[in-house]
Amino acid sequence: MSSAFSAEVGNRRTFGIISHPDAGKTTITEKLLLLGNAIQLAGTVKGKKTGRMATSDWMQMEQDRGISITTSVMQFPYKDRMVNLLDTPGHEDFSEDTYRTLTAVDSVLMVIDGAKGVEDRTIKLMDVCRLRDTPIFTFINKMDREVRDHIEVLDEIETVLKIKCAPVTWPIGMGKAFRGVYNLYTDTVHLFQPGQASVVPDDVQIKGIDSAEARAELGDELVDELIDEVELVRGASYEFDLQQYLDGEMTPVFFGTALANFGIREMLNYFVDWAPAPIERETKERTVKPDEEKFSGFIFKIQANMDPKHRDRIAFMRICSGTYTKGMKMKHTRIGKDIKVADAVTFLAGDRSNVEEAISGEIIGLHNHGTIQIGDTFTQGEELQFTGIPHFAPELFRRVRLKDPLKMKQLQKGLQQLSEEGATQLFMPLNNNDLILGAVGVLQFDVVQQRLRDEYKVECIYEPISVTTARWVACDDERKLEEFRKKASENLAIDGGGHLTYIATSRVNLSLTEERWPEIAFRATREH
């Protein structure tokens, strides 16, 4: 491939933010967009207070409940890079979406609340990142508050999340006395500029912690304290090593306050340098390199109603190689058909616009008329199937019943399509006509009910059902599988994707069945 194209791909930085709810992910997103000049005014990302249409909150329900359900994509230029930020739902009930979004990024920014340290959701999300050794930047937020001892928080990250910490900046004071951050590598003080939360803040720097200027600005006492503290920090932490960061073993750490808009630029400047450019991706057939000439990509998310006026569904595609150009033909490899795509969209600053061209590492949205599923691969002719985009076995189940029995067809169609989108999972028992919905989080049921009403004009109700968990069934021995199908048919169902699934009434039932059928594999995740 041409070196110009390789260089262009090399300028892409595609990442997601992981954090526990309330750590400040939304606020940081907003400030990143501000720094990228992608929005003019802070306050457009979350509409709660300003009454603006939120950039990352599309569905009415999200707005009603004040949670971010959907995954949105934001793109902005910074320095010579093009940064793509994939927003992830913070709410636990939509964790499947988050996990799949993490398969589409090349690196992650982890946001920690400086007062709380490592929290549950962060631990779970780190586990997901670890599966692929995703490189991680860390931002410790809320320095404008009285937070915990910073060294203690770093310790916690190292022991609980099992990753080495290499602080790059260090906070100067905290709470009302927060004065800025000190860069341990350039020996520079970056002074906090209060009152600049909604603009790109002035970049006020003082060279040298022990300079006359620093002493004049911060006072001798604070400077002496900082010198001592920094010495301690250097002794107690690791020096940054790019390779260890890229291998997911070490995280560079930055401090600041998202709300008051400070410390994020100091992080972003390093992020665009250190974070990996688009990485290679595995398919069943071979490894795909990002600077290959021929186009390829996979779908990691399907989102309905992004624009309520249009009632449309957008399939989010991560481009893994080559270039998308408007009007090009792509091969939809699962169904073996060529499709012409003339109206893919990009998400510059969250505003949708039709895209003429997009390259490796970027995310485009395809209009989905029901043929696209999560995990689908698109290529320029080659037979490929990207791997590693999982479905997770649901833990919550409901039987769906219609209020108006004449609408069975609409209900089936609706449930089928919503399950292809990954909104919930659908199971149809072999032995009866029940329709069983499975979800990872209980809010997913509410979303489906609302969407069935809005989009398919079907009113449904849920009934409890004694199913505890589900496992996808596989066996190389056809005869054995057939025998299992007959003997265990009471507990077998076909899922929305046509896969045989064991639905267990209890954990004990599942383990007894696993013991009884050692030749059969019972899988808690299914790949597309």
Point out the annotated binding site: 19-26, 87-91, 141-144
Q: Does 313 bind ligand G4P (CB under 6 A)?
A: no
- Give the other-Cβ count within 10 Å of 356's Cβ: 11
Cα dihedral angle (126, 128, 130, 134), rounded to 10 degrees?
A: -90
Task: Pick between residue 77 and residue 173 the one whose CB is nearest to ligand G4P.
Answer: 173
Nearer to ligand G4P, 130 or 145 (CB): 145
Q: Is 25 in the site for ligand G4P (CB under 6 A)?
A: yes
C-alpha–C-alpha distance, residues 298 and 101, integer Å: 11
Q: Least CB distance from residue 115 to ligand G4P, whole Å?
A: 9
Residue from 12, 18, 19, 57 that binds ligand G4P (CB under 6 A)? Answer: 19
If the CB atoms of residues 48 and 457 are measured against ligand G4P, the closer one turns out to be: 48
Cα torsion 408, 410, 414, 415 to 10°: value is 10
Q: Which residue in the set 12, 13, 31, 46 belongs to the binding site for ligand G4P (CB under 6 A)?
A: 46
CB of 184 closer than 8 Å to CB of 230: yes
Give, as ranges, the residues between 182 and 201 that touch ligand G4P (CB under 6 A).
none
Q: In what order do the strands lie in the sheet with 180-183?
A: 169-172, 180-183, 188-191, 205-207
**DSSP string covering 43-106:** TSS-HHHH-PPPSS--SHHHHHHT---S--EEEEEETTEEEEEE----SGGGHHHHHHHHTS-S
**Residue 417 lies near ligand G4P (rule: CB under 6 A):** no
- Residues of the binding site for GTP: 19-26, 87-91, 141-144
Q: Which is nearer to ligand G4P, 52 or 486 (CB)?
A: 52
Residues of span 130-159 touching ligand G4P by CB under 6 A: 141-142, 144-145
Both tokens of 423, joined, read: 């909104």
Q: Per CB under 6 A, which region of 17-25, 312-320, 371-379, 511-519 contacts ligand G4P?
A: 17-25
Interface with ligand G4P, residue 52, by CB under 6 A: no
Q: Give the interface segment with ligand G4P, choosing from 21-29, 365-373, 445-453, 507-515 (CB under 6 A).
A: 21-29
- Containing 250, the helix (H) or strand (E) segment is strand 250-255
Footprint (CB under 6 A) of ligand G4P, residues 248-267: 257-259
Which residue, 90 or 496, is less far from ligand G4P as judged by CB? 90
Binding of ligand G4P at residue 72 (CB under 6 A)?
Answer: no
Nearby residues of 98 by Cβ (< 8 Å), 6 or more positions away: 18, 71, 88, 89, 125, 128
Contact between 390 and 99 (Cβ < 8 Å): yes
Span from 18-26, 217-225, 458-466, 511-519 in contact with ligand G4P (CB under 6 A): 18-26
Q: In the bound complex, what is the minimum distance in angstroms from residue 139's beta carbon to ligand G4P?
A: 10
CA distances from 46 to 22, 261, 288, 309, 518 (A): 13, 15, 37, 20, 51
Residue 81 sits in the site that holds ligand G4P (CB under 6 A): no
Do residues 344 and 357 make contact, with C-beta atoms less than 8 angstroms apart? no
24 scored as a contact of ligand G4P (CB under 6 A): yes
Q: Which residues bind ligand G4P (CB under 6 A)?
A: 19, 21-27, 46, 48-49, 90, 141-142, 144-145, 257-259
